Structure 1
């Protein structure tokens, strides 16, 4: 793993160490009214209730997997995706997180569900994954933390089995963002520890450069439950009422940064400057 990736892994680990210690973060991640500890709730296009589990269904549509797949969740958080999908898909699952608190909490949930013999969480960077080979690699709202996206995709592609799939879901800026929106996007990137945050085209180039072929994609933005600037402004003013140094001294600086970053993201999504996209690539 490169020195750049190592430094970023430490930075992200510190970020989540602060957030994982807050009961606030256990229930909400500052992403609107339908937030989830791991990833966002989506409106069900089939008419069901909004739920984080809608995403799991959509990202697996049309995906041919072996009977007992070997799966890597690259940035698994508390393991909620594995907890939902492993009982239904079978196979052997490994989740990677940079947070010991997430490993402990997620591991306890997996053990309680009787999955500990075939689903595990490791404190390990996705820039240095287990050797594989994996039939499926998932990256939900995690790969955006990469300091070198092309290198990250290349190393993940290297542990994919022939015919295996990389499925990623993340926030991707549109090309040619106007200056005011770009400033908000910079706040989001800084506060969410996302140093690069590529466009869709950037991610696709990284996939193709790693020998993968894009075989599916979907813009999930219309399914998000987000606030516009008018709705978010009162909360934003409240968060910014205290100077940054004082917020940090009182112990809620990172929490405030995470929520401010989330609000910036929501407003950019409602205005169409950032899209929430699903990309599926295959190792042919």
Structure 2
């Protein structure tokens, strides 16, 4: 049985009060690096329409009390991050505490709204007329907001940029991967599942800063315009790619090959954000200002 207890619920700008939640139609949806994914519907006592949600049930073995406590601590910390970020940014997805109860075993989890349009790359792939530049601008706005709260996203990639029913961006999983690494892996270096979007210093030293977010944002933009990851996704074949990024960054990979649909100005933003030296990258606020000027010049 899935149990969800949101502190607040803010969707599409309309505040919904807390209510008694009933969960139905729970379905297994897939695997993530440290969690199992479920789609479910929740019913509020004061709402007649169910809300589809996606639940990440953290993977904890039966009777592994230490891991259970660690993941419970992560869920608590994520709620603190959620409070710091705020509930009113239209391009950021809400996140709620949850738990999944099986036979004598309750596992901590987190839940977000279910976004049927999928992530930004899948959305553009199935909606070729979508305004990619506008989606990029919306993502930048969300990142500026969380950086203004001294929070690092830590895992910027297409999978964490979802598209809501209104066709607008919802940035998800803010700080989730970082907290899991810090709590469960004790900051030990291991290959991130989304290594192909990472900066050289993150892959080599494990650093996660606002500047690594800027770098990963730029690589994500590249994938939005090419509709493919910067490296072919093949199991256990990441060695050469990791070395190439650590030694030369993504500019060495991109070369001079600008995606056809990308403007020259946006291409230049991608290039400067992918500077190997973090001090040479613009801040996310500066990137946002550049994108705003580009939008005004369109």
TM range (shorter): under 0.3
Structure with more relative contact order (C-alpha pairs < 8 Å, separation 6 or more): 1
Using the size of structure 2 for normalisation, the TM-score is 0.22
Higher Cα Rg: structure 1 or 2?
A: 2
Using the size of structure 1 for normalisation, the TM-score is 0.22
